[in-house]
Chain A
Amino acid sequence: MLLTRAWSLVLSFLTAAGIAAAYLACGDLQTRSNHHEDVLLSSHQWQIEMWLNKQAMLQIGWTTAFATDDETITGLRRASQHQSKQIGNDLMRSVKSALRRVNNNLEPSQKADLVLAVNAAGTIVAALGVDELPSNAALDEMPLVRKALEGYLRDDVWVFGEDVYRVAARPVLDRGQYVGAVVHGLEIDDNFARNLGEKAPGSAVGFFFRNRMVAGYLPPGNTTGTRELWSQPLEQLLLENESLKQGRPTVPVDLAGGLRAMYQLVTGSASFAQVGYVVVRRAVEPIDPWSLLLNADQHEVMSLLPMVIGIVGVGFAATLLFMFIERDRPLSVFIRSTKQLASKERDRLAPADFNAPLRTIAIQINDALDQAGYHASGDPKPSRPADINEILGPTLDEEPAQPYFGFASQVVQEEEVPKAPLAALEDSKPGIAFEGLGVPAQALGEQKDTHERAQPQPQPLVPATADPKDPPSNASAAHPHPSEDQFPRADFTDGDDDEGATMIAQIPKELIEASMDEEELDQEQAHFREIFEEFVATKRQCGENTQGLTFERFSKTLEKNRDQIKSRHKASEVRFTVYIKEGRTALKATPVKH
């Protein structure tokens, strides 16, 4: 299941990477969106400033209607002749009437909320929008009026009573003489704010006088909070904000309710009284992948749908493929084998045909079959020579033309080991007990071979009752060896991956040798020598190359495999025999228990 697991890992990694990328993208999008909103907010603040500038000029123009009205001019000329004297009530009423008439004739958007007419000395002659005028009230020291009396057109912002006015003034001329000035005032109220706010779509505009809002405009949708929210930071900003003190707008300020605002004092003398305006926009909502998906444009989603479906399909198909390769197909083989077993087309399963879990099951089934058979016959526990292929699984060397010697995995690391063919252990010596016969390969050794692996090939089932005298016909297929100069390698992999690979636990050689007395060693060496000679002779008989095959390397290999088999099967001795398998020389090992 290596592929499937690797694929799962890849999918998990891709999923994690995708989620991480989505959050990173959202974070980046959030940053960019916030920046964009701030730029937009700053842009709208600038637009408001520009519109205030433009409207100031327009308002200066609207004063022309008053300054060119004959009745007003006449009244102011007469009033200017009384510079230090009390202006008569009749004259004041006359001028006031003229102002009202002119104001009524203006366009609705141009109508003044406050109109003041002063004589050349700055004394107020008439006023509209003022409840009560003190006698001899004057405005000559107000910078706006003073400049108008000096002959200039000017605008300003005044705090007049409790209200704030945007005012414009111009001199009144009569035959080349300055006879006074008129002041046109528009109260900064909600209507005034709306006219400005409509120039900055999506933004709210409010005017404040100190820490209270005096006017405001909320765009349609009402997503920009309330005036109370806008005014919350005013007190602190007016007290501490260096930008405002320097006459610059503040940076965007976070307000409660997810709003962003920029504050600026008005252009005009009322800035000294802390009159200003605020532009408010709704801040960007926190962006997360889910909200992004929910708020995505339907067309964009639909355009991406084929790609998403494709990726899911490919991923799913790959998963199915890997599961077929690694689970369904082996399972199918196993089921087919068990069916053959059930139909007695075969009497044992071939564990080597299966991957690790199924191989274990197959071995256990075989073992169970063996025990069931012997129980039925009343015989003691069966013993038979170990089939090296059954224990170790099928082996395959790099070149199939060479015989294979597959005792143990350790040999693959030994470069000096002599070349030897693989011998399948078969039940060659009836009557010799071997308890490890039915032990699953997995159980024989937990250590996994981490060394070089060879590609396994399914091997034919080796019947437990195969004739030992005819091992080639029933034994597992021998795996060719690439060269006789190389010693054969054992492989414990199951053919698909190394997951099910088994190895025989290695017992330290010193420990084993210490347990053997000298006589036994001599006998064993003699046995090895006998086997070696028989092996060489058989190879020559089969026409195989024996060049480079030395006893030392051969015996070394036998010793290692002997040790492993003894350890695995708890045998006291291992006997080797030479036989010919499919025209090639092979070795078989038989564990012997005394």
Chain B
Amino acid sequence: MATPQKPQRHQCYALLTLGVMLAPLLAIHSAFAVPVQGRLQIPNALHQQGERETSRRPQHHWRLPNGFVRGRTIRFQPERHFAVVLIGDGGGESDCRYRIQGGNFLPTTLVVQAGSEVRIENTDPFPHELFADTIDGFSALSTAPGNARSFSAPNEAGHHEIRDRLYGHVIANLNIVENLVACAEVRPDGSFQFDSVPAGNYELKVAYGGTFVASRKIEVVTGQDLQISNPIALELERR
């Protein structure tokens, strides 16, 4: 029986040397990356969304007002529905984070690099069984709380729908793009921020559902934070 060989000492030295050489380069690169901030102009229509029927069966026997206080409308959550990304030369590697939280995707609009490995965390206290009919190998598997579901994004740009076999309301729109550079964190007020963007020319895109509803060319200059002055208007189709 063959005994696994231990790494040779000189190999360890070689890796250490490589790391020492690359570290300054990465530090320099980070030093020149700057945050990019902006704001989305959310149409009022999006604040009034009804409950989505997910099957032919009624979703409840009863839905009654509480009888004491008038009902309220939960505000529209841009952070849950919009994805703001940068696309440009040299893209392909991104730090975008996708998860399920509060009983649904966060965000429900996903923009991923074509061919990349996508990882979706389950932060809910119950399992989900995500699947996508149009993506090979992405069949329904149970993802326990705290675990993540990974799959390979298709190589071609396009749109796919990810669903949960347990909860009909859980739907994510997966948008496959080339040259994805970064994903912004969208806040409840509609503002967003890319934490660290290297200098260069990019196209900022806003995705909502399966479509991109806004796009803007931006130039990031080394050492200068970029604050996009005007809110980004969204070209929403009548949904």
Contact = CB atoms under 8 A, between A and B. Distances in A.
Interface in B32-82: 51, 54-66, 68-74, 80
B145 interface: yes
A14 B185 CA distance: 92
Contacts of B88: none
Nearest to A163: B126
A53 interface: yes
A89 B103 CA distance: 22
B104 to A, nearest CB: 3
Contacts of B123: 134, 136-137
Nearest to A176: B69
Interface in A173-205: 173, 176-178
Interface in A58-101: 60
A53 B127 CA distance: 27
Contacts of A127: 125
Nearest to A83: B188
B59 to A, nearest CB: 5
Contacts of A56: 60-62
B55 A271 contact: yes
Interface size class of B (residues with CB under 8 A): 35 or more
Given A137-B123, A267-B58, A151 B167 contact: no
A132 B127 CA distance: 13
A265 B57 CA distance: 7
A41 to B, nearest CB: 20
A239 B68 CA distance: 44
B101 interface: yes
Contacts of B57: 247, 265-268, 271
A246 interface: yes
A57, A155, A176, A269 interface centre (most CB from chain B within 10 Å): A269
A150 interface: yes
Given A134-B145, A267-B57, A153 B124 contact: no
A267 B70 contact: no
A324 interface: no
A171 interface: yes
B102 A152 contact: no
A461 interface: no
A181 B122 CA distance: 23
A568 interface: no
Contact of B63 (A145, A154, A161, A246): A154
A124 B71 contact: no
Nearest to B187: A84
Interface in A11-58: 52-53, 56-57
Interface in A126-162: 127, 130, 132-134, 136-147, 149-156, 159-161
B59 A269 contact: yes
A122 interface: yes
Given A146-B74, A173-B69, A269-B169, A156 B60 contact: yes
B101 A138 contact: yes
A139 B59 contact: no
B37 to A, nearest CB: 19
Given A141-B103, A272-B54, A272-B55, 7 more contacts: A134-B125, A141-B169, A154-B60, A178-B69, A265-B57, A267-B57, A268-B59
Interface of A: 52-53, 56-57, 60, 122-124, 127, 130, 132-134, 136-147, 149-156, 159-161, 170-171, 173, 176-178, 245-247, 265-273
7 contacts: A53-B61, A146-B51, A155-B62, A159-B166, A176-B68, A271-B55, A271-B59
